[in-house]
């Protein structure tokens, strides 16, 4: 996942290739390897429904956020540090009941949410403990943290040298992540591996970017295209070989002390 400071040219340049890479109906503007069906399954496990107050951390242009707002009628707040991504998110959201704020996470807003989403961006946080402690604080009692992770040992120096924008790629082993959740008072209630599916999407995106390379390079330049392709080659290799595994999880905050009846 390559960092894009000016999102509009990337979104426009990659639109055609992304649309072609996902199976019919599975591309909803996500900037990730998740299919729409996987996003629906995860938000279903997090019990997002009408009126549920949802905070979507690192929402980007908010393809998933717009989909769940339209389909589920939740109250939605998306945060991202990219102003240019939020311009696109607001524009595409139109009349949907979505709100967006520009923020660098952590910290989280000083409110409580029934669900916190973090889709395909756990890897961008070098300090996952601080992030998870903030998420736990920002959940209501009984609240759910729904997210994906890239599971694996930290990248070696030579792997970091090959990955564009390696300062946004911080793997963590699932057991270590689960321990951080437990220490923050969150219990994993659902977990599913999605490595094969994400490998298939990464492979399809790589093929699509190569097919569309002349068109993409005209809009974002040859250097950015080369980095996009290099990053996807590495993800295909790592997801295919098991060097990195992908999981979707839901972790819940306890409902709190039950008052003893008299």
The footprint of ligand SAM (CB under 6 A) covers 1, 30-32, 58-60, 63-64, 80-82, 85, 104-105, 119-121, 124
> Please, which residue, 38 or 252, has the CB nearer to ligand SAM?
38
Write down the least CB distance from residue 135 to ligand SAM, Å: 13
Write down the least CB distance from residue 68 to ligand SAM, Å: 11
- Residue with smallest beta-carbon separation from ligand SAM: 60
27, 204 in Cβ contact below 8 A?
no
> Please, which residue, 84 or 219, has the CB nearer to ligand SAM?
84
> Please, which residue, 105 or 184, has the CB nearer to ligand SAM?
105
Write down the least CB distance from residue 156 to ligand SAM, Å: 23
Closest CA to 185 of 220, 228, 134: 134
208, 21 in Cβ contact below 8 A?
yes
Write down the least CB distance from residue 30 to ligand SAM, Å: 4
245-252 vs 187-193, strand pairing mode: antiparallel
> Please, which residue, 60 or 138, has the CB nearer to ligand SAM?
60
What is the C-alpha to C-alpha distance for residues 229 and 164, in angstroms, rounded to an integer?
10
Lookup result for tokens 């905050």? 253
What is the C-alpha to C-alpha distance for residues 240 and 164, in angstroms, rounded to an integer?
19
> Please, which residue, 91 or 218, has the CB nearer to ligand SAM?
91
Lookup result for tokens 């992540």? 177
75-80 vs 187-193, strand pairing mode: unpaired
What is the C-alpha to C-alpha distance for residues 150 and 121, in angstroms, rounded to an integer?
9
Write down the least CB distance from residue 94 to ligand SAM, Å: 18
46, 146 in Cβ contact below 8 A?
yes
Neighbours of 124 (CB within 10 A): 18
Write down the least CB distance from residue 29 to ligand SAM, Å: 7
> Please, which residue, 60 or 152, has the CB nearer to ligand SAM?
60
> Please, which residue, 149 or 257, has the CB nearer to ligand SAM?
149
180, 135 in Cβ contact below 8 A?
no
262 CA to centre of own chain: 46
Write down the least CB distance from residue 194 to ligand SAM, Å: 13
């Amino acid at each position: 996942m390559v960092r894009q400071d000016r999102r509009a040219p990337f979104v426009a340049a990659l639109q055609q290739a992304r649309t072609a890479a996902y199976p019919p109906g599975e591309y909803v503007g996500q900037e990730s390897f998740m299919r729409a069906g996987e996003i629906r399954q995860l938000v279903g496990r997090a019990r997002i429904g009408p009126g549920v107050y949802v905070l979507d951390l690192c929402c980007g242009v908010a393809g998933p956020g717009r989909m769940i707002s339209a389909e589920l009628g939740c109250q939605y707040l998306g945060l991202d540090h990219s102003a240019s991504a939020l311009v696109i998110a607001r524009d595409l959201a139109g009349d949907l009941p979505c709100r967006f704020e520009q923020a660098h996470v952590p910290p989280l807003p000083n409110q409580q949410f029934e669900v916190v989403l973090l889709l395909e961006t756990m890897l961008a946080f070098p300090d996952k403990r601080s992030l998870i402690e903030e998420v736990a604080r920002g959940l209501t009692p009984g609240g759910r943290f729904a997210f994906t992770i890239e599971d694996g040992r930290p990248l070696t120096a030579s792997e970091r040298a090959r990955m564009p924008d390696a300062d946004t790629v911080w793997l963590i082993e699932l057991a270590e992540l689960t321990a951080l959740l437990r220490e923050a008072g969150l219990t994993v209630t659902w977990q599913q591996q999605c490595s094969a599916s994400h490998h298939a999407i990464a492979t399809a995106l790589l093929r699509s970017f190569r097919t569309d390379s002349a068109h993409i390079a005209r809009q974002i330049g040859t250097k950015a295209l080369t980095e996009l392709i290099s990053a996807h080659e590495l993800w295909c290799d790592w997801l295919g070989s098991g060097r990195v595994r992908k999981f979707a999880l839901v972790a819940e905050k306890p409902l709190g002390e039950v008052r003893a009846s008299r």
